[in-house]
């Protein structure tokens, strides 16, 4: 049976979160909001607890987890060494939606890292996530709190739909601010390598230190052995067929092939599809609104009538580079 606790995301009640922390300490699973998406958390030092995450999500065992921490002391227990470039990123961008890959310590098991010698780690900025980790007293391993392969959850309702009966507790903290998973950088390499784009853009990261953009970061390829979450398997996908049309000169012809398509596009382009059902993905004037709406609208499109979801491709710059990564991973077909 899953318990639900509603917590103020800006001023979380420590008394309410202590119960969640006790569940973590005892080897249970707690779904909780972060500034990116909702996470499904377990004690990162407890191998059996972390195994429960994979079972609850139906997640492949070779897909590593991200470890969430709340202090420099925790970081020193999770990783073997902190490279100088990592210290630079940490100083400027933690807490926040940035995950760094470093050499793991012996306290982190193969279950968490999928057998890799490295571990993905970040310090979340969301008040609920921060307090939960602090009260638990241990790092929390947490992928997104959804069935593996589905769109990531950005609200309590999304988590409830898929995790009720699978976890011990769900913390209702409203909608998540960014709506996209964290940016992931491998700092064991020089220069560091961007493995997954996220809320912190390539431009923002590069202003601190030069990074190489891994070919999988565009969402065009998969990695035989994933070095971080989101590199191998189809992710973020609705149940319906999703066609991503990157060459917008072809989109009206593609739309005409289907009797009842659902169109996803920025609000500026909605007028182009007057004869069709349209869900708007935020505004091109506020690109972060598109990122925030993405997973919500993919889930919404899945629930309404329609034989296919057709999504407009977006310019690959800023946060929209991260959005295109997610869309390519979710797509059944890409038209270029």
Contact between 109 and 9 under an 8 Å Cβ cutoff? The reply is no
- The pLDDT, as a whole number, for residue 222 is 56
| DSSP code of residue 79 | B
Question: Is 3-218 a CATH 3.90.870.10 domain?
Answer: yes
What are the residues whose beta carbons fall under 8 Å from the beta carbon of 267, sequence distance 6 or more?
280, 281, 282, 283
User: What is residue 230's predicted lDDT score, i.e. its pLDDT?
Assistant: 53
Residues of the chain whose pLDDT is less than 50?
Answer: none
Secondary-structure breakdown of the chain: helix, strand, coil percentages, each rounded to the nearest 5: 35, 20, 45
What is the predicted pLDDT for the residue at 333? 95
- Kind and range of the H or E element at 159? helix 156-163
Do the beta carbons of residue 85 and residue 190 sit within 8 Å? Answer: yes
Whether the Cβ atoms of residue 89 and residue 63 lie closer than 8 Å to each other: no
For 273-326, the three-class secondary structure string (H helix, E strand, C coil) is HCCCEEEECCECCEHHHHHHHHHHHHHHHHHCCCCEEEEECCCCCCHHHHHHHH
pLDDT in the model for residue 227: 62
Tell me, what's the pLDDT at 225? 52
- The domain segmentation of the chain, as residue ranges, is 3-218, 242-335
* CATH, range 242-335: 3.40.50.11030
Q: Supply angle C-alpha 38, 104, 111, rounded to 5.
A: 60
pLDDT of res. 219? 83
């Amino acid at each position: 049976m899953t318990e639900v606790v509603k917590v103020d995301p800006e001023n979380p009640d420590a008394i309410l979160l202590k119960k969640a922390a006790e569940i973590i300490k005892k080897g249970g699973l707690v779904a909780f909001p972060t500034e990116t998406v909702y996470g499904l958390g377990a004690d990162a030092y407890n191998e059996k607890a972390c195994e429960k995450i994979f079972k609850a999500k139906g997640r492949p065992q070779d897909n590593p987890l991200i470890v969430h921490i709340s202090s420099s002391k925790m970081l020193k227990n999770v990783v073997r060494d902190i490279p100088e470039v990592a210290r630079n990123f940490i100083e400027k961008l933690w807490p926040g939606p940035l995950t760094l890959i470093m050499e793991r310590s012996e306290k982190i098991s193969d279950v968490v890292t999928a057998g890799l010698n490295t571990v993905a780690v970040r310090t979340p900025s969301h008040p609920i996530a921060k307090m939960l980790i602090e009260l638990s007293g241990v790092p929390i391993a947490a992928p997104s709190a959804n069935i593996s392969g589905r769109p990531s959850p950005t609200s309590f309702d999304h988590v409830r739909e898929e995790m009720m009966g699978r976890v011990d507790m769900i913390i209702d903290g409203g909608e998540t601010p960014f709506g996209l998973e964290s940016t992931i950088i491998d700092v064991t390499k020089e220069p560091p390598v961007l493995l997954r784009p996220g809320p912190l853009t390539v431009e923002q990261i590069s202003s601190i230190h030069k990074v190489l953009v891994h070919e999988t970061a565009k969402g065009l390829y998969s990695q035989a052995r994933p070095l971080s979450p989101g590199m191998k398997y189809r992710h973020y996908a609705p149940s319906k067929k999703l066609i991503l049309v990157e060459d917008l000169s072809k989109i009206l012809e593609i739309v005409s092939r289907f009797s009842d398509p659902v169109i996803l596009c920025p609000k500026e382009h909605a007028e182009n599809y007057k004869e069709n059902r349209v869900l708007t993905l935020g505004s091109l004037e506020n690109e972060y609104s598109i990122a925030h709406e993405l997973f919500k609208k993919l889930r919404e499109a899945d629930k309404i009538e329609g034989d296919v979801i057709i999504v407009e491709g977006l310019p690959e710059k800023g946060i929209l580079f991260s959005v295109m990564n997610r869309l390519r991973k979710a797509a059944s077909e890409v038209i270029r």
